[in-house]
Amino acid sequence: MDNQVPHFQFNTTANKNSIFDSFLTAKKINIKNNNIFVGDNLDIMSDLFFLNAYKNSVSFIYIDPPYNTFNNFSYNDSMKSEEWNDFMEKRILASYSLMLERGCIFISIDDNEYANLKIICDKIFGKNNFIGTFITKQSQRSNTKLINVVHEYVVCYAKNIKKVNQFKISRMDIPSDANMIKKLYSDVKICLEKNGYNAASKYLKELVKKYCEEYGITWLINYNNLSEDGKIYFAKDLSTPGNPRTVDIPSIGLHLEPLHSRGWSSDSKFLELFNNNRLVYKDGRPYSVTYLEESEDNAPSMLNFYSRFGTNDLKKLGIDGLFDTPKPVDMIKYFIRLVAKKDDIILDYFAGSGTTGQAVLELNNDLDLNLSVALIQIDEEICKKTKVYKKCIEIGIKPNLINILSHRLKTFCYNRNIDYSFKIYKK
């Protein structure tokens, strides 16, 4: 409706110093674009122009609100506790209506406001929609008096937990598992090269038992088969509960007599496995193949992401020090991959330096996804006495957060040779 429209405007001709210096009146927001919204996040999320576009559309929200640490950051990080509660509750509630039924929200926080945040979220989402709290790492702090706090939290809630897919993660993305898998492969390879296939195959069985004991795990026990070309795999039995039946698929030379009291997987399953080269026979019986490096696990709650990785991400872009507390790009990519499907919409309404924007661009580019991202960031000036202020002056951008955000994303796109596709809307 026309009377709801002219709240936002977007620029077309961004220049280096000011990104919303030229405005046109926007008619409609295309949520399949990458969009940056300039303004207070509550104001924006409550605006009908925004709401009509994004309502019930977002599958993944990541936010990294001010932790209320009273530190002298380039953005305001000091509120009274009740004030912070009120501030957060209104915003999380506003974002609730933007989420799909299967949508999830991930919220970074530390000890200062963890307890309050949990109460607020329980109230908005319901306790039963609490998915869990991830623990992430941060560099040791020297200024703590009693405990050296080396962790932060990411609190995770679903809009409707029943609609959320399992949080599966490749073991190769879990550093401790990945190291173990690589070590096992290397031990077996040495034996294979030295003593041949039969010896290596036997050695693998011994090693798997030993690793299970040493690492205190059980899942590895099934990965005790070696292929001729040295790959370690789990051979999964293809019988199923159900009525015994004969399998006869001449096109792939498969004939199986009925079992005593169990059925066989469907013909289409056998065909699919055969076509994908995932069918093996042991003593005349067929099994499906899952290679060790493809194994998955539920996402663990303790994660190996250090907050300083975020600082390194800016360094890699050549804009070291342009923001105080950037989160690691890989951490946000990790969370997005737990939840989002190929064409989903991602939202971050405390965008800061735009880490979530970069995470989405990287995923689209590297994994051939088609995600869209909406970033909301207040047009906050940078405090004069900070390093970030100096850095802005040094690289020639006006010291405010919107310029930092757009400069980071433009730099990333430029470095990776990706089109800078963000549209900027200002309230």
Ligand X SMILES: C[S@@+](CC[C@H](N)C(=O)[O-])C[C@H]1O[C@@H](n2cnc3c(N)ncnc32)[C@H](O)[C@@H]1O
What residue ranges bind ligand X (CB under 6 A)? 40-41, 64, 66, 75, 310, 323, 325-327, 350, 352-353, 355, 376-378, 380, 401
Among 289, 278, 298, 300, which residue's Cα sits nearest to residue 223? 289
Residue number with CB closer to ligand X (211 or 323): 323
Residue number with CB closer to ligand X (69 or 97): 69
What is the C-alpha separation between 13 and 11, in angstroms, rounded? 6
How many helices (H) and strands (E) in the chain? Answer: 12, 21
Among 377, 289, 369, which residue's Cα sits nearest to residue 336? 369
Contact assessment for residue 354 and residue 423, using Cβ atoms and an 8 Å cutoff: no
Residue number with CB closer to ligand X (270 or 334): 334
What is the C-alpha separation between 320 and 323, in angstroms, rounded? 8
CB of 310 to ligand X, least distance (A): 6
Contact assessment for residue 13 and residue 423, using Cβ atoms and an 8 Å cutoff: no
CB of 326 to ligand X, least distance (A): 4
Residue number with CB closer to ligand X (125 or 350): 350
Q: Strand, helix or coil at 108?
A: strand
* Nearest residue (beta carbon) to ligand X: 352
Residue number with CB closer to ligand X (75 or 287): 75
CB of 102 to ligand X, least distance (A): 24
Contacts of 12-17 spanning 24+ positions with Cβ under 8 A: 14/406, 14/424, 16/396, 16/397, 17/396, 17/397, 17/398, 17/403
206 by Cβ neighbours in 10 Å (0-12 / 13-18 / 19+) ranks as exposed
CB of 394 to ligand X, least distance (A): 19
CB of 294 to ligand X, least distance (A): 31
CB of 402 to ligand X, least distance (A): 9
Q: In what order do the strands lie in the sheet with 232-237?
A: 225-226, 232-237, 285-291, 279-282
Residue number with CB closer to ligand X (76 or 179): 76
Residue number with CB closer to ligand X (65 or 103): 65
Which ranges of 196-320 would DSSP assign to H, the alpha helix?
197-215, 267-275, 308-316
What is the C-alpha separation between 181 and 175, in angstroms, rounded? 10
What is the C-alpha separation between 363 and 356, in angstroms, rounded? 11
- Phi, psi (deg, nearest 5) at residue 76: -70, 125
Angle between helices 329-339 and 308-316 (to 10 degrees): 110
Residue 283 makes CB contacts below 8 A (sequence gap 6+) with: none
Residue number with CB closer to ligand X (69 or 133): 69
CB of 80 to ligand X, least distance (A): 15
CB of 38 to ligand X, least distance (A): 9
Residue number with CB closer to ligand X (286 or 326): 326
Residue number with CB closer to ligand X (224 or 325): 325
CB of 67 to ligand X, least distance (A): 7
CB of 350 to ligand X, least distance (A): 3
Contact assessment for residue 120 and residue 65, using Cβ atoms and an 8 Å cutoff: no
